[in-house]
Amino acid sequence: MAGSGQRRKMRPIKRRALGLALGAVVVSASFAWLILAADSHLNDQPRATQFQFVRMEYPGGIPEYLKNWYTDYPAMDKHLTVLLQRLTGIDTAGPTLVNSASPGIFNYPLIYSVEPEQMVLGPSDITNLREYLARGGLWFADDFHGDEEFAQFLAQIRRVLPGVSPVELDLSHPLFHCFYDIDKIIQVTNDSIAKCPECEQWENGPSGKTPKVFAIFDKHGRINILMAWNTDLGDGLEWADDPLYPAGYSAYSFKFLTNAIVYTLTH
């Protein structure tokens, strides 16, 4: 690989101006940066006027199995929100959840899903997501590995957008430079692998070795669906306050998620 339920009346996605002091923000890859930044309290943050991180609850998967929409939840979401508020100046509310069939999805410009190979979308989910993408929303999928999981997720995508084909992004795409300059796509590993030097540092066999970023574009050339394959950005943020977890993985995960958020807000 290189590559309906009843229609409800829905509100348009809210877009607000993004004011950022780009030159003033630097991410440090030190443990001190990770521990201090992740130690803030979400309840101290003001109500969002610019962005709120939203995790999508989807149907499917094995109940209570490690791999599902709730993987890395809620630590990943909380750490990302605290870091985003502190290091970018984006006015950010506490993280929240939205169901894939809910009209509430239209309140958010970006939705995040983890372990997307586990999802089995129903008619209402498909109709809702198709409308969300048509209105300019960005769906970001993280933490799926190897050819089999790629094919499983792609099958669900094509139920929402029939016939589409993912395009691999290289480092020249604006996504990698819209806030932080990312000059290498890193394979972030899960906590257990990262702390096991003698273990293979990838998941799901040979096809899980190389991290890649894929996108599906809308008719205007804007990213509709963003796919971080063979990498686990969620774990990078979930374990950001653990001194035994590689700080470089957490720093990269934050930079990538921040760029995805800024790309969404400015495109």
Is the Cβ–Cβ distance between 222 and 134 less than 8 Å? Answer: no
The pLDDT of residue 35: 34
The pLDDT of residue 115: 98
Is the Cβ–Cβ distance between 79 and 257 less than 8 Å? Answer: no
R_g of the chain, CA atoms, integer Å: 17
The domains of the chain are located at 36-266
The pTM for the full model equals 0.83
| pLDDT tens, position by position, 71-117 | 999 999 999 999 999 999 999 999 999 999 999 999 999 999 999 99
CATH of domain 36-266: 3.40.50.12140
Number of H helices and E strands in the chain, helices first, is 7, 7
The pLDDT of residue 4: 36
Is the Cβ–Cβ distance between 69 and 56 less than 8 Å? Answer: yes
Angstrom distance (rounded) from CA 240 to CA 33:
9
The pLDDT of residue 47: 55
Which portions of the chain are predicted below pLDDT 50?
1-46, 48
The pLDDT of residue 52: 96
| pLDDT tens, position by position, 77-86 | 999 999 999 9
Assign 75 to helix, strand or coil.
helix
